[in-house]
Structure 1
């Protein structure tokens, strides 16, 4: 059994003006053939870097090594936040009502009901289901479709994730060609389009990335468990137009998560994805705390698996 590693020289520039240079750095990679773009993402994730503006790689050498004998050590888990923050007055989708967050009873008001020094805050949140990062169930599209309370946890929690990257490609549509080489059965398919860069601005809805209807049909055919996107809509949101991705996916019982963020911090494979809403009847859409767990091994642990590991720290 073999594992794959890459040795490289890296020059990392940060948006804060800082810079990191390293020679002879080694990182674990999932296979012998890995693109420079994926290698850069693996490097950034394995080192836990933030605010990265540019990564330049030179002298890249990929090679195989035998997996050391003995039982594998337990990996550690790094949690990656994939949800936007919900705040009072937030605009998620232009034209839809913003959330209203207020105090139902303050600490001062409740203190009279408890022993001296004991008080609680009761807060009120009024919002549409389509607020922040949210999950669509079949009921969102189809009358009588499965609602939030009816969605099985197997479709929402601890799903193996595959990340489809089109960010930086200069095109809007995620197509069948982007999905063709991937194994998606039973996976959360997360579309990293870079559309979240415009979050909270008028540009967020302008020429936003989307999934084509044909690509959605391919995901249904191949048994995807969930599909998420870091954009304003999984469909090309033309006013009054069709919504083929919603139509096809939700008809097949595949939930959709929209308005994700932070997908650049995930490896192409190996993460576990969760986006579970409350169990509410007769509601088709609700915000979620979407996140991923990424396994890695400590530098001194020589046991490896083909994945996202900080072996070069």
Structure 2
């Protein structure tokens, strides 16, 4: 369970006017910051507002139309997510992969996996000693099933396959969760990412589309990373990019710019994540490891977040 699981989290929405001690001022409308509880005071909200923007030489802060709303934290600087990281605690784990089941639908144009028996328990009794039995299963599926990782060979014939990623590229990466469930737009561009420190991080794009996974609506009005969003993540040194949507790219654009740029830069891509609402905006680590299969470019992963 993550920061927001099992307990409510809150954000403050307000208008504000700030005057600076060296002259000038700033006004904002409908600003939002993470707050520790529904009982937060206006003074505390003002302090969180100044801290979130890193405003220096601020004088008086006047808030109007203050409203506390129940919503997942987005990781505003100096807010509850930063404090939780500092306080630490025992490790907790959040499953971020969909369960693979016989016949499941990942994408409408791909066949579902077929799970069968290679050796049944009954048949094994003829092989082993009395009272000893085993079952050996068999699975047939396309590599793009469930929650999976893309290697550069998925896009480029001379790119490395699944065996080309060392474990330090996929295990225990510091994670930043970008909350986009209320963004009002499908394309995730550089402006939506600019406030986040992504260098060396697994950047996990939380769109909420996973709620429609396995239905025809999953691919309709799906969120995606734009070309300039991919360029921003590469330029800022992101280590991995994941998304809880049907594709990292706009599925109506056959050029697939996000795949092209990210895989061209050697960044792993993890698609069809789930449960990102249970992961705090910062402070968790992310792991997603496929088997070491030579010659395959994509394969399902056990993806999870470690908190604390």
* TM more than 0.5: yes
Residue in 2 that maps onto 1:151: 165
Gaps of 5+ in 2: 1-7, 11-36, 41-46, 54-66
CA deviations over 1:123-155 (Å, ceiling 9, x no partner): 000011100000000000000201001111121
Displacement after TM superposition at 1:109 (Å): 1.0
Q: Does 1:242 align with 2:273?
A: no
CA deviations over 1:71-127 (Å, ceiling 9, x no partner): x99721111010111111111111112111101111111122222221111000001
Q: Kindly report which structure 2 residues correspond to 1:1-313, keeping only aligned pairs within 5 A, or say none.
A: 32-33=48-49, 40-41=71-72, 75-238=89-252, 241-295=254-308
Contact 1:83 1:260 in 2 (8 A): yes
Q: Higher Cα Rg: structure 1 or 2?
A: 2
Residue in 1 that maps onto 2:25: none
CA distance in 2, matches of 1:205, 1:11: 29
CA distance in 1, matches of 2:214, 2:72: 25
Gaps of 5+ in 1: 1-9, 13-21, 26-30, 44-61, 67-71, 296-313
Contact 1:163 1:268 in 2 (8 A): yes
Displacement after TM superposition at 1:282 (Å): 1.0
CA deviations over 1:11-32 (Å, ceiling 9, x no partner): 99xxxxxxxxx9769xxxxx94
Report SS of the residue matched to 2:122: helix
Relative distance call for 1:100 and 1:266 in structure 2 (3 A) is: same
Report SS of the residue matched to 2:302: coil
Contact 2:9 2:70 in 1 (8 A): no
Displacement after TM superposition at 1:170 (Å): 2.5
CA distance in 1, matches of 2:154, 2:69: 35
With the length of structure 1 as denominator, give the TM-score of the two structures.
0.73
CA deviations over 1:261-309 (Å, ceiling 9, x no partner): 00011111000100000001111000001100111xxxxxxxxxxxxxx
CA distance in 2, matches of 1:173, 1:181: 17
CA distance in 2, matches of 1:74, 1:81: 20
Contact 2:9 2:72 in 1 (8 A): no
Contact 2:107 2:214 in 1 (8 A): no
CA distance in 2, matches of 1:293, 1:130: 25
Report SS of the residue matched to 2:124: helix
Report SS of the residue matched to 1:291: strand
Displacement after TM superposition at 1:185 (Å): 1.0
